[in-house]
């Protein structure tokens, strides 16, 4: 037998021996360790990527809260905090294939302090999630049979890294002048982009300016020191906000303002949009979204008038008021937001009808504006 043949035979024998070798069994977990829960796997054996979702809503009628949940398969982990307090409370749980949600909450020492049970629902129009159900004390607690309804809606936030939006609040009351103020505004936390702080300054200024204007209106006229009639209804100001879009280069917020002045027949309400180009560190004007010289107002107005007329019967709107209040003029289109599906246009109370029940909203799809949109502008990414 030649040397070459011997080498070939030896290699074959080694190969057969290697195939018969088995890997050692995995090491057993140390005594007392809790096995990690198995995650659901998608077809092909890959673990689903974690998804961070941000929610805003309330427990009961007055406890406003914000919640962050990271979903991996059917497992959930995160935290929430009451906007009045700001202290984060850790939660973990799961959601099953039918959308049944269970979240347990814990204090810093790891003791369970509450239980959320509800339904995880996905909106077919925008894909955003709503959680709704009841909160209660944990099982075994003597008050665990008492339940409080909760409802939170996902905000379209998709920052990268550890960047979040948290709500801040201005709260004041004046017994002498009989008014109360509750104003919320968003602030970006985390990240190292200096333009986030520029956005924060603009958002904070939007709320504080509204508060200052209300307090100025509440100040008594010089020489008017008469006390308010005892038992009469006081005045109030409420400012809330909704996130229309929040990502690394663009943030769009709708402020909702509601006020009542003592003695008035009706409350007043309106909305104000804040659209911020984070990439370039500036607040956007509506014209910034379109090509120079484009007749964008005419296109937006045409769509809005047609949409509002469809809503007219159910919302107490009048055609002649719609055509006037939604006409193609800059003053009619001062409140707007950016979403991934289109431009959100807000019309103030009475702008499109004397009997309108509060502000009216129209979503103008980008397809109705596609030939006018600036291909280098901030919404070009959504209009393709």
Superfamily for the 51-155 domain: Avidin-like (2.40.128.30)
| Dihedral in degrees, nearest 10, Cα atoms 96, 100, 104, 105 | 120
Digit-coded pLDDT (tens) for 82-119: 988 889 999 999 999 999 999 999 999 999 999 999 99
pTM: predicted TM-score of the whole model, two decimal places? 0.81
Residue 344 — pLDDT band, cuts 50, 70, 90?
A: very high
Spans of all domains in the chain: 51-155, 160-219+234-284, 287-384
Sheet of 342-347, strands arranged across: 336-338, 342-347, 360-365
**Residue 117, Cα to own-chain centre: how many angstroms?**
21
List the structure tokens of 75: 């497992």
Residue 36 — pLDDT band, cuts 50, 70, 90?
A: very low
The average pLDDT across 346-358 equals: 75
For residue 353, pLDDT over 90 is answered with: no
Q: Is 19 helix (H, G, I), strand (E, B) or coil?
A: helix
pLDDT attached to residue 23: 36
339: nearest Cα among 382, 299, 289:
382
Superfamily for the 160-219+234-284 domain: Fervidobacterium nodosum Rt17-B1 like (3.30.565.40)
Q: Is 250 helix (H, G, I), strand (E, B) or coil?
A: strand
Q: Would you list the DSSP string of 189-225?
A: ESS--HHHHHHHHHHHHHHHHHHHHHHHHHSPPTT--
pLDDT attached to residue 357: 61
The average pLDDT across 135-145 equals: 93
| Dihedral in degrees, nearest 10, Cα atoms 274, 279, 284, 289 | -120
Average pLDDT across the chain, whole number: 86
Q: Which residue has the higher pLDDT, 296 or 60?
A: 296
pLDDT attached to residue 232: 60
Digit-coded pLDDT (tens) for 230-265: 556 789 999 999 999 999 999 999 999 999 998 888
pLDDT attached to residue 266: 80
Residue 299 — pLDDT band, cuts 50, 70, 90?
A: very high
Which residues lie closer than 8 Å to 158 by C-beta, 6 or more apart?
246, 247
CATH 3.90.640.20 assigned to domain 287-384? The reply is yes
The average pLDDT across 120-147 equals: 94
Residue 188 — pLDDT band, cuts 50, 70, 90?
A: very high
Strand partners of residue 336: 345
Q: What percent of the chain has pLDDT over 90?
A: 68
């Amino acid at each position: 037998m030649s040397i070459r043949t011997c080498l070939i035979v030896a290699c074959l024998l080694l190969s057969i021996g290697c195939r018969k070798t088995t890997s050692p069994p995995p090491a057993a977990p140390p005594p007392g360790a809790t096995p990690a829960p198995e995650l659901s796997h998608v077809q092909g054996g890959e673990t689903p990527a974690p998804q961070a979702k941000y929610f805003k809503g309330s427990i009961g009628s007055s406890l406003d809260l914000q919640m962050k949940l990271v979903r991996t398969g059917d497992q959930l982990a995160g935290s929430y905090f009451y906007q009045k307090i700001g202290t984060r409370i850790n939660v973990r749980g799961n959601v099953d294939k039918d959308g049944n949600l269970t979240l347990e909450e814990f204090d810093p020492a790891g003791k369970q302090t509450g239980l959320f049970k509800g339904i995880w629902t996905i909106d077919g129009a925008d894909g955003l999630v709503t959680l709704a159900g009841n909160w209660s004390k944990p099982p075994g607690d003597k008050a665990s049979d008492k339940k409080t309804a909760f409802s939170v809606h996902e905000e379209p936030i998709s920052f990268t890294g550890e960047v979040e939006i948290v709500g801040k609040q201005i709260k004041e009351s004046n017994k002498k002048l009989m008014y109360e103020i509750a104003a919320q505004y968003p602030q970006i936390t985390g990240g190292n982009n200096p333009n986030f702080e520029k956005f924060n300054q603009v958002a904070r200024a939007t709320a504080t300016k509204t508060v200052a204007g209300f307090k100025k209106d509440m100040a008594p006229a010089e020489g008017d020191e008469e006390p308010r009639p005892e038992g009469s209804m006081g005045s109030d100001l409420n400012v809330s906000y909704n996130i229309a879009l929040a990502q690394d280069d663009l943030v769009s917020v709708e402020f909702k303002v509601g006020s009542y002045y003592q003695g008035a027949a009706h409350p007043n309400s309106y909305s104000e949009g804040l659209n911020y180009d984070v990439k370039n560190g500036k607040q956007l004007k509506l014209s910034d979204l379109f090509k120079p010289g484009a007749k964008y107002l005419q296109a937006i107005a045409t769509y809005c008038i047609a949409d509002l007329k469809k809503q007219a019967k159910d919302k107490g709107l009048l055609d002649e008021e719609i055509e006037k209040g939604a006409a193609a003029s800059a003053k009619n289109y001062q409140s707007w937001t950016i979403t991934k599906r289109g431009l959100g246009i807000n019309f103030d109370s009475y702008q499109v009808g004397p009997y309108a029940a509060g502000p009216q909203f129209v979503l103008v799809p980008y397809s109705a504006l596609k030939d006018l949109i600036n291909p280098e502008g901030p919404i070009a990414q959504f209009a393709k």
